[in-house]
Amino acid sequence: MSDDKHNLSSAGTFTKLSHAGRAPREFHGFVNTPVYHGSTVTFPDVETMMSGRQKYQYGRRGSPTTDTLADALSALDGAAGTVLCPSGLSAVTTALLSVLDAGDHLLMSDSAYDPGRYAATTVLNRFGIETSFYDPHIGAGIEAHFKPNTKAVLTESPGSLTFEIQDIGAISEVAHRHDAYVIMDNTWATPVYFRPLDHGVDIAFMASTKYVVGHSDVMIGTVAANARAWRKLHTYHGSMGLCVGPDDVYLATRGLRTMGVRLARHFESALKVATWLEGRPEVAKVLYPALPSHPDHALWKRDFKGASGLLSFVTRTPSLDAVKAMLDGLSWFGLGYSWGGFESLAIVADPRKSRTATKWDEPGQLIRLHIGLEDVDDLIADLAAGFDRLNAVAG
């Protein structure tokens, strides 16, 4: 959906964010596509009903509300099509099950989102799909892990806990030579900062719960595919009866319109916080690819247009009690899962629990921060006071 006078494909990212998927003239000039609540769609006559040619036929299979979001995301990703799923995790499983059959082998990054790992090693395993894990730094070396039945590679770059950047182009080149699909979790960068399909990815998904929605109020996943994978994705998604309620789709579309400016602010503030953290004596390591000190900074710079608001750091002290004292007393950072909203968040996490191909041997505690849209000086002061509490316990 979009007005004919626009040439979206040649437009810039911010223009696409503002205009893609909208067609005001179809809705009496109203800027936003209305929220269509509907299961049944009626037909003017039996002939039309039997022809299958009416644009909308049944609520589960889409409406102008869902098309607006899907079309806007397809324009951003340069995709053949996009489907909507009820959560980011269902986007992971939808991407995987669209292309995998019984007897297939899946290669998954060791840094991938943990619940996706769990789904692969339990449910997919039950259906005869075998998963093995690879070092996210593997690049073209992934060739050695290919088996005759390897059908897909699941990448996530950077890993959303440990922030390794993957050489997506090199991995895609190998995978395509083996006739396998490349799938990418692009939740961290979004197509504003990295367009997976331009780097050889066949299916790119996001937990749009995060930056697309942007306001910590809706669960939704989105999956975009290139021409090679679109039919498989569309067929699987339709067959499994996946759909998202129109109010949630509307809120996700509303969030998308401002995602570019929000991301720019997240990037600016996160880089300031990351740089400040690097200068702190309590910090052993900051994990944020936009920092020149990050081991994958060159790769990030080559492939990405920016960085979002999520980063981690490792404390020098291994004391969990010291970290609890720091985090429990934070005033602007909430303690909570998820991220991508307007507000700042912190968690403490242990990557050891979800690694099999690589070893995480940092002695300190890993703290992940989401840097929200607050004044960055307030956030830094909050963290500085937190380090005082940490030092009081760690000594």
Task: Collect all residues with Cβ–Cβ distance below 8 Å to 212 and sequence separation of at least 6.
Answer: 73, 190, 206, 220, 222, 252, 255, 256, 259, 340
The answer to whether residue 160 forms part of the interface with ligand PLP (CB under 6 A) is yes
Q: Which is nearer to ligand PLP, 183 or 383 (CB)?
A: 183
The residue nearest ligand PLP at its CB is: 88
**Strand 81-85 to strand 221-225: parallel, antiparallel, or no bridges (unpaired)?**
antiparallel
Give the nearest distance from C-beta 12 to ligand PLP in angstroms.
26
- Taking CB under 6 A as the binding criterion, the range among 100-108, 203-211, 232-240, 265-273 that sits at the site for ligand PLP is 203-211
60 is catalytic: yes
Burial letters 208-239, b for 16+ CB under 10 A, else e:
bbbbbbbebebbbbbbbbbeebbebbbebbee
Q: How far apart are CA 275 and CA 286, in angstroms?
A: 8
Can you tell me which of 84, 94, 111, 113 binds ligand PLP, judged by CB under 6 A? 113
Q: How far apart are CA 287 and CA 162, in angstroms?
A: 7
- Taking CB under 6 A as the binding criterion, the range among 128-136, 207-215, 256-264, 372-380 that sits at the site for ligand PLP is 207-215
Q: How far apart are CA 68 and CA 17, in angstroms?
A: 12
Q: Which is nearer to ligand PLP, 95 or 277 (CB)?
A: 95
- Name the active-site residue from 25, 55, 58, 60: 60
The answer to whether residue 366 forms part of the interface with ligand PLP (CB under 6 A) is no
181 is catalytic: no
AA letter at 157: S
210 is catalytic: yes
Q: How far apart are CA 238 and CA 224, in angstroms?
A: 14
- Name the active-site residue from 167, 185, 202, 296: 185
**Residue of 143, 140, 142, 137 whose CA lies nearest to 156:** 137
Using alpha carbons, list the distances in angstroms from residue 358 to 135, 164, 361. 6, 12, 10
Can you tell me which of 69, 79, 89, 270 binds ligand PLP, judged by CB under 6 A? 89
Classified as helix, coil or strand, 361 is: coil
Give the nearest distance from C-beta 89 to ligand PLP in angstroms.
4
Q: Which is nearer to ligand PLP, 190 or 365 (CB)?
A: 190
Can you tell me which of 187, 216, 312, 344 binds ligand PLP, judged by CB under 6 A? 187
Can you tell me which of 70, 79, 84, 219 binds ligand PLP, judged by CB under 6 A? 219
* Catalytic residue numbers, as ranges: 60, 113, 185, 210
Q: What are the residues binding ligand PLP (CB under 6 A)?
A: 87-89, 92, 113, 156, 160, 185, 187, 207, 209-210, 219, 221, 338
